[in-house]
Amino acid sequence: GAQGIGRAVVQSLMQSRAQVAVVDLNRSCGDQCKSELDSEFGADCSIFLQCDVTDADALTAAFQTTVDRFGHLDIVINNAGINEKNWEKTIQVNLTSVIKGTYLGLEHMSKEYGKGGGSIINVSSMAAFLHSPHQPVYTATKHGVIGFSRAMADASSLGGYGVRINVLCPAFVDTPLLLSVEHEDNMGKFVKFKDDFKKSMNHFGVLKPSLIADGMMMLITDDTIHGAVMKITCSKGIHFHTYEPMST
Ligand SMILES: NC(=O)C1=CN([C@@H]2O[C@H](COP(=O)(O)OP(=O)(O)OC[C@H]3O[C@@H](n4cnc5c(N)ncnc54)[C@H](O)[C@@H]3O)[C@@H](O)[C@H]2O)C=CC1
Ligand SMILES: CCCCC/C=C\C=C\C(=O)C/C=C\C/C=C\CCCC(=O)O
């Protein structure tokens, strides 16, 4: 992502000397991000690929271009997310593309395909632990990201893929996405709940994108973390969700 949480994560990755492909639909935002990265880190360390993640062929090509440019892939972050009145599109971006991005990441990193392993982080939300009236379809997609990612993490363990798969669930973060709550195009009929949504933001507080990047770097660098669901909130900071063990 060229803005918001994605932009903060790119900054942290590049400060850690990673080479990064920034994939985003928004060309002007991507060009600005690339020019900032070139000034700070040099032009060879990043590429910007304009791509709609819901276009399966374009996403496949973006992965291939990244591997062609940098030689191999170690980390995939499926971060794109929207909240739109067009709820089917919301599902395509927030869930279907996360699944596609995970499968493509595995094609390029899994030992099953003779590759060297890696790390995939899928971005969900604390909305997956609430059932607020402001965003039913957005909430459903974020539940879906957790279910899919945990199941794929188990598949990776069982199949010896050598790929860690984790989920990151932020509470409210100060990014342009929060502004969507004001717009009927985004909220549809739920726009009438916007004041309630803002009350919830005031109650729970709003996080800085840099803290989400810190959590992301923890998931990337700690190779003991696999199948985990990281939550980041104002009250508890970076912590992990705990699940009841399955009955035997
Ligand atoms: N901001 C918040 O309060 C929270 C955000 N999240 C999640 O974090 C992720 C990032 O969100 P933010 O940075 O806040 O949003 P943002 O709106 O600032 O950035 C999202 C980026 O995704 C890109 N994008 C949207 N549709 C795309 C598509 N079809 N193909 C490619 N790129 C596309 C946008 O151009 C934008 O650069 C999302 O998955 C969001 O659901 C989770 C919890 C809280
Ligand atoms: C109203 C729809 C807008 C959807 C897109 C905008 C914002 C997205 C926000 C989130 O994903 C986060 C949503 C809900 C969780 C927020 C806070 C919970 C904190 C719980 C706690 O601190 O214990």
pLDDT higher than 90, residue 246: no
**pLDDT tens-digit map of 8-57:** 999 999 999 999 999 999 999 999 999 999 999 999 999 999 999 999 99
**pLDDT tens-digit map of 194-214:** 999 999 999 999 999 999 999
**pLDDT tens-digit map of 133-169:** 888 999 999 999 999 999 999 999 999 999 999 999 9
At residue 162, the 3 state secondary structure works out as coil
| Ligand 1 atom 29: residue of nearest CA | 52
Q: Are the C-beta atoms of 39 and 209 separated by less than 8 Å?
A: no
* Pocket of ligand 1 contains residue 84 by CB under 6 Å: no
In degrees and rounded to multiples of 5, residue 75 shows phi and psi of -135, 135
**pLDDT tens-digit map of 219-229:** 999 999 999 99
Rounded distance between C-alpha atoms, residue 100 and residue 78, angstroms: 9
| Ligand 1 atom 17: residue of nearest CA | 177
pLDDT band at 119 (very low <50, low <70, confident <90, very high): very high
* Pocket of ligand 2 contains residue 135 by CB under 6 Å: yes
* Pocket of ligand 2 contains residue 177 by CB under 6 Å: yes
Per-residue pLDDT at 132: 81
pLDDT band at 248 (very low <50, low <70, confident <90, very high): confident
pLDDT higher than 90, residue 131: no
Q: How much of the chain, in percent, has pLDDT values that exceed 90? A: 96
Q: Is the dihedral of CA 167, 54, 132, 150 positive or negative?
A: negative
Provide the annotated active-site residues: 138
Per-residue pLDDT at 61: 98
The yes/no answer to whether this complex scores an ipTM above 0.85 is: yes
In degrees and rounded to multiples of 5, residue 11 shows phi and psi of -60, -50
Q: Are the C-beta atoms of 175 and 4 separated by less than 8 Å?
A: yes
* Pocket of ligand 2 contains residue 125 by CB under 6 Å: yes
**pLDDT tens-digit map of 55-108:** 999 999 999 999 999 999 999 999 999 999 999 999 999 999 999 999 999 999
Strands (E), 32-143: 46-50, 75-78, 118-123
Per-residue pLDDT at 160: 98
Per-residue pLDDT at 133: 87
Per-residue pLDDT at 240: 98
pLDDT higher than 90, residue 192: yes
Per-residue pLDDT at 51: 98
User: Relative to the alpha carbon of 176, which ligand is closest?
Assistant: 1
